[in-house]
Amino acid sequence: DSGIHSCLTDMIKFDRALFTGKLLNEQSMKTLLTDDNGYCCGLMKKETGYMHDGSSFTCQTLNRITESDEFGHIYEIRLERTGSVHKGDVTDPMEGTGFKKGVFENNVYSNEFAGIKVEIPEGYQQIPEDKISDTSEIVAGCDEERDKRREAATRWDCSFYSIDDNIHDNVHFKYVNVELAAMDGQAYTVEDYLDDFCAMNMTEEIGWNKNEGRQTVTFGGNEYVRQVYSGYDSYVELPEKSFLYARMVDDKVMSVIWIIAFYEDAAPADYEKLFK
């Protein structure tokens, strides 16, 4: 597409090269450079000119350059600070539950609380804890209040990605505090989680376009409800299959396993057989 998506420093370089620094004026630069996260979504070419429409956790922007036969280039720059979000401000959603963090050693991820033990094959690497999806980042990206509550109630415990050139996939283990995720005092169930996750991700932007069904499966001594989605990820330009598993560990915590595979013949059984 015509989008140029980049970090702040690349955005500045692009602006200076193409617009001699006029897109990001002095005040905008000052705000962006002191922004705690400093993230821009990019600059997109439109029929009438260029537009940058993005946000970070602490500021929102809507910048336009309009090409006019009468006036030439018209610059509209708006950048508004919306507050600051720090990791320290995010409360652990597992506080007050029986959750215990999982352990990864000798190529095995185990979580005694959830009754999970799974062999992670060679060719996979653990994602460092400080790189695992930060709750504040995900919550900030949600539009619906229901999605914000669910993601704020989620603890990402352990994640892995394939470093094999022939296999492209990610495996995530998450836990959800269903009391925090619930709306209006209603019970939050496994079916609710799968429905909500599907609704948030079955979009043109995400790339999921086929719901391949939901069924109850058992592996590793636990019974899960499994949801399968498929589509095409335009960002990595590869077919994508998503296997989402959920089960209640107790009356407060839901265990979620999310597997994202970027190859067409990926099958749930390939991963389920790894659980002991």
Domain ranges in the chain are: 3-81, 87-272
What is the rounded CA–CA span in Å between residue 260 and residue 271? 11
| Listed range (46-60, 178-192, 240-254) with the worst mean pLDDT | 46-60
Count CA atoms closer than 13 A to 107's CA, side-chain side.
7
Is domain 87-272 annotated with CATH 3.40.1000?
Answer: yes
More confident residue, 87 or 168: 168
More confident residue, 105 or 239: 105
| Listed range (30-44, 81-95, 152-166, 167-181) with the worst mean pLDDT | 30-44
What is the rounded CA–CA span in Å between residue 129 and residue 134? 10
Res 82: pLDDT: 47
Taking Cα atoms as reference points, which of 225, 118, 92, 208 lies closest to residue 172? 118
- How does residue 205 score in pLDDT terms, banded at 50, 70 and 90? low
pLDDT in tens, 127-186: 887 777 655 566 656 778 888 889 899 999 999 988 877 778 899 999 999 999 998 778
- How does residue 246 score in pLDDT terms, banded at 50, 70 and 90? very high
Burial 210-223 (b: 16+ CB within 10 A, else e): eeeeeeeeebbebe
Does position 254 have pLDDT exceeding 90, yes or no? yes
Q: What is the mean pLDDT of the chain?
A: 75
Does position 27 have pLDDT exceeding 90, yes or no? no
Res 35: pLDDT: 45
Res 146: pLDDT: 85
Res 16: pLDDT: 61
Neighbouring residues of 111: CB distance < 8 A, sequence distance ≥ 6: 100, 101, 102, 103, 157, 158, 173, 255
Res 105: pLDDT: 95
| Listed range (7-16, 90-99, 107-116, 204-213) with the worst mean pLDDT | 7-16
Does position 90 have pLDDT exceeding 90, yes or no? no
More confident residue, 91 or 225: 225
> Where would I find the beta strands (DSSP E) of 30-168?
43-46, 49-55, 59-68, 72-76, 79-81, 103-105, 108-111, 116-119, 124-126, 154-162
- pLDDT above 70 covers a percentage of the chain that reads 59
- The residue-averaged pLDDT of 80-104 equals 72
Token pair for 220: 């590793």
Taking Cα atoms as reference points, which of 227, 165, 181 lies closest to residue 201? 227
Res 128: pLDDT: 82
pLDDT in tens, 211-220: 788 999 999 9
